[in-house]
């Protein structure tokens, strides 16, 4: 069965091709009854406009780009799925663009991407979303964008965003470990170019301070958001004369690396070592024991960010649309089998 065309829609609705095009593109000047008839024909035929063709035929681009640099594939897949679902629901195409956040020519590359691919706007994932100089350069070129950022509240910095409260979620994880009876709690950083790493560390440190536990610098190690860094960091912590009884990895991949290191050292998780991660990725559910973590609705966050961008684009076109303001998301503690009270010392 052939795919329905715009001509089929025009014939079904008994209007011109021009009228169908104006309805699809949300242009003003179409009578309400005519618009309703065209939309009914689109629905009955199952017609879906081709975003790339729309961009070529009109001065208005109908594709978005999502830009990322993150070693965690599960996070990136969730971001892509969230953006894609919003694009499909609103008729936009999507271009995926991995990049190097540390590149000195990143701004120029993204400007070339938007202009060359005729993108309507960009969804910036961390850490690019948190590089304000980059954001300012893109905005100066009149590039529409939305950012996914780590923050405890709306940053109110003039650029549309969706923020994630990593700080309080990390506090909750650390508090959970403390309330189980752990005093020596290791912390493994994610990449320092990601603000989420700093927020998660600050949440960890704040919980220790609030419970009167002095922070031990030997229990806090640098790294990146990866399994290998979790494994290496855990081996270093477990080799200490007074090793930690619990380790908090800045994401679930790190925590999975900690779990592997514990097993290679002959430790029983959670009774010899409690382990917690962050994000509630597939790693956290597939490991054994399953990981205590913070459930972060990454797909929903990315979807809302995309709606936020599309709202800005349609507002510029004077097209009525439901308002999507900046919004915050709070990851929620999920307690699973990887955490338990520490064994009493002999």
Task: Give yes or no: residues 76 and 133 share one domain.
Answer: yes
Residue 342 pLDDT greater than 90, yes or no: yes
Q: What is the mean pLDDT of residues 272-284?
A: 92
- Percent of the chain surpassing pLDDT 90: 52
Beta strand 293-295 pairing with 332-334 = antiparallel
Angle at 305 between CA 304 and CA 308, to 5 degrees: 90
Higher-confidence position of 105 and 30: 105
Other C-beta atoms closer than 10 Å to the C-beta of 184 total 17
Which pLDDT tens digit goes with each residue over 144-165? Answer: 999 999 988 888 887 889 999 9
Which pLDDT tens digit goes with each residue over 187-214? Answer: 999 988 889 999 999 999 999 999 999 9
End-to-end CA distance of the chain: 74
Task: Give yes or no: residues 140 and 76 share one domain.
Answer: yes
Give the CATH number of the domain where residue 36 resides.
1.10.260.40
CA 280 – CA 324 distance, rounded (Å): 26
pLDDT band at 60 (very low <50, low <70, confident <90, very high): low
Is 336 within a domain? no
- Percent of the chain surpassing pLDDT 70: 91
Task: Give yes or no: residues 37 and 131 share one domain.
Answer: no
CA dihedral of 37, 41, 44, 45, whole degrees rounded to 10: 180
Number of domains in the chain: 3
pLDDT band at 35 (very low <50, low <70, confident <90, very high): confident
Of 64-78, 252-266, 286-300, the one with minimum mean pLDDT is 64-78
* Cα radius of gyration (the chain): 24
Which pLDDT tens digit goes with each residue over 95-128? Answer: 888 888 888 899 999 999 898 888 999 999 988 8
Is 340 within a domain? no
Of 202-216, 229-243, 320-334, the one with minimum mean pLDDT is 320-334
Full-model pTM:
0.77
Residue 85 pLDDT greater than 60, yes or no: yes
Q: Which domain holds residue 193?
A: 166-296
Residue 241 pLDDT greater than 90, yes or no: yes
Other C-beta atoms closer than 10 Å to the C-beta of 344 total 6
Give the CATH number of the domain where residue 258 resides.
3.40.50.2300
CA 280 – CA 132 distance, rounded (Å): 28
How confident is the prediction for the chain on average, in pLDDT? 87
* Closest residue by Cα to residue 146 from 165, 168, 167, 119: 119
Residue 249, phi then psi, degrees to nearest 5: -90, 140
Residue 243 pLDDT greater than 70, yes or no: yes
Predicted confidence at residue 117, as pLDDT, reads 85
């Amino acid at each position: 069965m052939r795919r329905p065309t715009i001509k089929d829609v025009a014939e079904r609705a008994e209007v011109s091709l021009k009228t169908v095009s104006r309805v699809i593109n949300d242009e003003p000047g179409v009578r309400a009854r005519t618009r309703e008839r065209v939309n009914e024909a689109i629905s009955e035929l199952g017609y879906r406009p081709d975003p790339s063709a729309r961009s070529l035929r009109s001065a208005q681009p109908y594709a978005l780009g999502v830009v990322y640099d993150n070693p965690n594939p599960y996070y990136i897949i969730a971001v892509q799925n969230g953006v894609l679902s919003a694009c499909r629901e609103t008729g936009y195409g999507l271009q995926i663009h991995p990049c190097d956040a540390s590149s000195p020519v990143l701004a120029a590359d993204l400007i070339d991407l938007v202009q060359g691919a005729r993108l309507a706007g960009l969804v910036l994932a961390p850490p690019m979303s948190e590089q304000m100089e980059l954001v300012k350069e893109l905005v100066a070129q009149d590039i529409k964008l939305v950012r996914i950022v780590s923050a405890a509240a709306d940053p109110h910095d003039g650029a549309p965003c969706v923020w994630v409260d990593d700080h309080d979620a990390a506090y909750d994880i650390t508090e959970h470990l403390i309330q189980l009876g752990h005093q020596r709690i290791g912390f493994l950083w994610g990449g320092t170019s990601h603000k989420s790493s700093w927020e998660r560390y600050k949440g960890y440190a704040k919980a220790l301070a609030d419970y009167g536990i002095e922070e031990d610098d030997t229990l806090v190690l640098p790294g990146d958001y990866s399994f290998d860094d979790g494994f290496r960091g855990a081996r270093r912590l477990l080799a200490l004369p007074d090793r930690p009884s619990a380790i908090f990895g800045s994401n679930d991949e790190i925590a999975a690396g900690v779990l592997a290191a514990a097993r290679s050292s002959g430790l029983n998780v959670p009774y010899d070592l409690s382990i917690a991660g962050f994000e509630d990725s597939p790693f956290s559910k597939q490991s054994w024991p399953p990981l205590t973590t913070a459930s972060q609705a990454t797909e929903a966050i990315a979807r809302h960010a995309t709606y936020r961008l599309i709202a800005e684009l349609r507002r510029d076109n004077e097209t009525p649309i439901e308002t999507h303001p900046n919004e915050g998301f709070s990851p929620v503690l999920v307690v699973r089998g990887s955490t338990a009270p520490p064994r009493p010392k002999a």
